Amino acid sequence: MYARRRHVYFAMMTACLVLFVGAWAVVRLWSTPAAVAMCFVAMVIPPVAAMVANRRGPEDRWWDDPSGDPKSDEWWDELDGKRRRP
């Protein structure tokens, strides 16, 4: 699961770099507006890649992890109706 998200992140970032470098190394020789459009697309990719990489799946049980603060964990367990383990 984590490996797949990491691979997707690196693929998106590679596409971003290819778009940016390709826009100003090759495409600008034929069409400056196309190069600028490619840069705008490349500009949107990094935030989307970060969202994809940090997305939590339904199988991720992050809400059950203790926070480290015993008082807070006890309070949340009480609200959730869980019994504390001795």
Residue 80: the pLDDT is 72
Residue 73: the pLDDT is 79
Question: Model confidence over 17-58: pLDDT tens digits?
Answer: 999 999 999 999 999 999 999 999 999 999 999 998 888 776
CB 56 within 8 A of CB 62: yes
What's the pTM?
0.65
Q: What is the DSSP string of the chain?
A: -HHHHHHHHHHHHHHHHHHHHHHHHTGGGT-HHHHHHHHHHHHHHHHHHHHHHHPPPTT--GGGS--S-HHHHHHHHHHHTPPPP-
C-alpha distances in angstroms, 33 versus 28, 37, 44, 53, 54? 8, 6, 17, 31, 33
Residue 61: the pLDDT is 59
